[in-house]
Amino acid sequence: LREPGRTLGIKVCEGAVHRCNNKCVFCFVDQLPRGLRKPLYVKDGDYRYSFLQGNFITGSNLSRRHLERIVRMGLSPLYFSVHATEPEVRSYLLGDCGERDVIPLVKRLAAQGIEFHFQVVLCPGINDGRVLDKTITDLEALGSRALSMAVVPVGLTAHREQLPRLAPVTSEDAVKVLQVIQRRQLQFRSSRDSRFVYAADEFYLLAGGKIPSQAAYEGYPQLENGVGLVRREIEAFKRAAARKRFDGIAAGSRCLVVTGKLFESILSGLLSGLKGSISGVFEIVPVQNKLLGESITVAGLLAGGDILEAVGQHPPADAYLIPGAALNEDNLFIDNLSLSDLRQALSPGRVIVASGFSQAVAELVALAKRGGVNKSC
Ligand code: SF4
């Protein structure tokens, strides 16, 4: 009998990743500086990883054999990047390379039982407004095989030399996009009993609007795409506070909470709600993304070097809460700095990595109870 925890001794050969054959005008891979983690430069267009890991594909590189295999093996749901259903607009966005008209392809697979989660990367002035409205209409019309649709803002780094000029999403753009999405959600709630289309968290934060309720995310179908992460964190925080999960941190202990600029205001709001009921002192360190550019504000794309520089401007703390989303499965930041290097640099302070703030604080409390954090935590 194999003991629990022992591997089978079989290594599955994963084979090469199928690359996409597009040149999307907003492709994030093309906007990366040199010297980052190698897998970041792979233009993944692999339907297998779309099914297995929820990676978005455009479908442009699917051969007849691939399509047959998807249906035969029931690789469903697939995560599909549509961007626009208007052929000219989609063609422009894919760099004049991909399948112009995505609807026949999706319809063909849907008719054979394949379900979809869709994505639109919103580029102001190109696929917003009327184009976005039509895209929502066309995708929703696919019926029950169309499970959800996320609209996410285009990410523009500071490394776009020789790439098409694109405008970033402004607060005004965000307000307009939310108006379209909320109007359609209202309509779909009565026609299909589901909102179907969801805006990424960034739109609400940019627009300064209220984050939708938990119920409005209907089970968070596109959480990995940044749709509902903020609401989920707020709910986790409320639950943890109600269960007094934050008790146990010694008075006077100082903890630096590292986050991206985007989440700063939400985090400050959560922390101010705890004032008087938590003994430790939590200071937020909103890290500016110097590696990719200041318009990249999410925590998941923070470089280890930028984090070290930002926390270095504060007096040493007893603990540092680091967003887990910034690390890959090998515990490397985007700039190849390892978690152990970061731990060493911040020693003797304890580094706690967690998927959210509440989880990080809960781990901090657990560590303090075990005596694993110095006297003050
Ligand atoms: S599909 Fe477009 S955005 Fe995605 S990797 Fe290929 S070129 Fe880049």
Average pLDDT over residues 321-346: 94
Lowest mean pLDDT among 71-75, 226-230, 262-266, 336-340: 262-266
CB 362 within 8 A of CB 349: no
- Nearest CA to 326 out of 47, 69, 36 is that of 36
- Nearest CA to 154 out of 197, 181, 120 is that of 120
pLDDT for res 51: 97
* Shortest-distance atom of ligand 1 to CA 121: 3
pLDDT for res 337: 95
- Reply yes or no: is the peptide bond before residue 286 cis, omega within 30 of 0: no
End-to-end CA distance of the chain: 44
pLDDT for res 270: 86
3-state helix, strand, coil in the chain (%, to 5): 40, 15, 45
pLDDT for res 4: 72
pLDDT of residue 371 exceeding 80, the answer is: no
Q: Is 260 in the pocket of ligand 1 (CB under 6 A)?
A: no
Question: Of all residues in the chain, what percent carry a pLDDT higher than 90?
Answer: 73
pLDDT, tens digit (0-9, with 9 covering 90-100), for 67-77:
999 999 999 99
Strand partners, 319: 255, 350
DSSP state for residue 44 in the 8-state scheme? B
Q: Is 61 in the pocket of ligand 1 (CB under 6 A)?
A: no
pLDDT of residue 372 exceeding 60, the answer is: no
Lowest mean pLDDT among 40-44, 63-67, 168-172, 358-362: 358-362
- Which are the contacts of 12, defined by CB distance < 8 A and separation ≥ 6? none
CB 164 within 8 A of CB 25: yes
What secondary structure does DSSP assign to 45-83, as a single string? Answer: --HHHHHHH---B-STT--HHHHHHHHHHT--SEEEE-S
pLDDT for res 119: 98
CB 255 within 8 A of CB 377: yes
Identity at 209, one-letter amino acid code: G
Residue nearest atom 2 of ligand 1, based on CA coordinates: 24
Instruction: Provide the pLDDT confidence category of residue 238 given band limits of 50, 70 and 90.
Output: confident
pLDDT for res 248: 64
Residue nearest atom 8 of ligand 1, based on CA coordinates: 27
pLDDT for res 271: 83
pLDDT for res 159: 96
pLDDT for res 15: 73
Span from the CA of 118 to the centroid of ligand 1 (angstroms): 15
* Shortest-distance atom of ligand 1 to CA 20: 6
pLDDT of residue 333 exceeding 90, the answer is: yes
Question: Rounded to 5 degrees, what are φ and ψ at 32?
Answer: -95, 140
Span from the CA of 301 to the centroid of ligand 1 (angstroms): 18
pLDDT of residue 252 exceeding 90, the answer is: no
Strands 281-287 and 319-323: unpaired
Span from the CA of 121 to the centroid of ligand 1 (angstroms): 11
Instruction: Provide the pLDDT confidence category of residue 99 given band limits of 50, 70 and 90.
Output: low
Instruction: Provide the pLDDT confidence category of residue 376 given band limits of 50, 70 and 90.
Output: very low
pLDDT of residue 162 exceeding 80, the answer is: yes
pLDDT for res 377: 36
Mean pLDDT of the chain: 90
CB 365 within 8 A of CB 245: yes
CA angle, 148 as apex, 144 and 153 as ends, to 5°? 155
pLDDT, tens digit (0-9, with 9 covering 90-100), for 200-209:
999 999 999 8
Average pLDDT over residues 326-334: 94
Lowest mean pLDDT among 66-80, 111-125, 266-280: 266-280
304-314 residues labelled b (16+ CB within 10 A) or e (exposed): bbbbbebbeee
Question: Of all residues in the chain, what percent carry a pLDDT higher than 70?
Answer: 92
Q: Residue holding tokens 């540092």?
A: 320
- Which are the contacts of 344, defined by CB distance < 8 A and separation ≥ 6? none
pLDDT of residue 95 exceeding 60, the answer is: yes
Q: How far apart are CA 57 and CA 73, in angstroms?
A: 18
Residue 223 tokens, joined = 């959480």
- Which are the contacts of 113, defined by CB distance < 8 A and separation ≥ 6? 71, 74, 76, 145
- Nearest CA to 162 out of 29, 30, 291 is that of 30
pLDDT for res 163: 94
pLDDT for res 277: 66
Average pLDDT over residues 283-290: 95
